[in-house]
Amino acid sequence: MVILDGKATADQIKLEIAAKVDEIVKHGGKRPHLAAILVGEDGASQTYVGHKEKACALVGFKSTILRLAADVSQEKLLEEIAKINADKDIDGLIVQLPLPKHIDEQKVIEAIDPKKDVDGFHPVNVGRMVLGLPSFISATPYGIMELLTRYNIETAGKHCVIIGRSNIVGRPLANLLSQKSNPGDCTVTICHSRTKNLKEHTLMADIIIAALGVPEFLKGDMVKDGAVVIDVGITRMKADTKTGFRLVGDVLFSEVSPKSSFITPVPGGVGPMTIVSLLKNTLKASGN
């Protein structure tokens, strides 16, 4: 069993990006610039944005965070997006989700200039991705594809079962893994809350991607020997620790890992790859 070390892989990619930025600046180019809009005081969102800001500093990007009150109007938020769209110094823009209930998330996503949509959520980027055209791919699927690449995991002809059908992870991954590419050329099954006999599907899978947000859902008896297991979930569970909680994924690691050929840990697996993929998209958005 091999641990797919997302943290070490992401650290290596950050070094590669930093070297590229040094070259760009040395030759008179502009530093890539990522802007983030954070609405409200949600603790998890603040943490995520903080991680992104720190990652930008590590690779030599400029970063800007616009913090808006939780009761900001949708109109005001759209105005701020329009300003950033028009700012030629800013290459990439993310609006941290989730947003307060009075704001239409889809309208906000569609307001972002597709050329600055480094989250890869805009319908233009989703459509281009589905067609196999150059696009910004949403960061978590992009990170998973990069992890498969860096560990030379064979995907061609394999049966991949994805548990979860979100527009952010499950559906994009299904498309990417079924495309004629490497990684890719998989036969893909998407399972979800309405899937009957889910265990029958997972037991046939060569690759399982768990992205449903249910702590320790995937048990050892649901996985065949030698399967590759990618755990996208991360949930805080109360625990007798200094912090009072522990982080767990959608996979019961203690049962599944002995049966796996490759497996991602939580934390330290998919999470770091998501952030570094956002940096890769921003570098691409800057034209480099």
Q: What is the pLDDT of residues 79-90, one digit of tens each?
A: 999 999 999 999
Q: What is the pLDDT of residue 42?
A: 79
Q: Is 221 a catalytic residue?
A: no
Catalytic residue among 5, 14, 52, 250: 52
> Higher pLDDT residue, 51 or 72?
72
Q: What is the pLDDT of residue 78?
A: 98
* Mean pLDDT across the chain: 95
d(CA 263, CA 251): 10
- 238 burial class (0-12, 13-18, 19+ CB within 10 angstroms)? exposed
Tell me what the mean pLDDT of segment 29-42 comes to.
94
Over the Cα atoms of the chain, what is R_g?
A: 19
Catalytic residue among 119, 206, 231, 250: 119
Contacts of residue 217, Cβ cutoff 8 Å, sequence gap at least 6: 163, 210, 233, 250, 251, 252
Q: What is the pLDDT of residue 64?
A: 96
Residues forming beta bridges with residue 38, ordered by sequence position: 67
Catalytic residue among 5, 14, 91, 96: 96
Q: What is the pLDDT of residue 49?
A: 87
d(CA 58, CA 256): 34
**Given a cut of 80, is residue 44 above it in pLDDT?**
no
Q: Is 52 a catalytic residue?
A: yes
Q: What is the pLDDT of residues 199-258, one digit of tens each?
A: 999 999 999 999 999 999 999 999 999 999 999 999 888 878 787 888 899 999 999 999
- Take residue 29 and report the two structure tokens written for it: 């180019």
Report, in this order, helix, strand and coil percent for the chain, each rounded to 5. 40, 20, 40
Q: Is 12 a catalytic residue?
A: no
Q: Show the domains of the chain with their CATH numbers.
A: 28-113 (3.40.50.10860), 139-272 (3.40.50.720)
Side by side, which strands form the sheet with 187-191? 2-3, 260-263, 227-231, 207-210, 159-163, 187-191
Percentage of the chain modeled with pLDDT above 70: 100
d(CA 202, CA 163): 9
Q: What is the pLDDT of residues 155-206, one digit of tens each?
A: 999 999 999 999 999 999 999 999 999 999 999 999 999 999 999 999 999 9
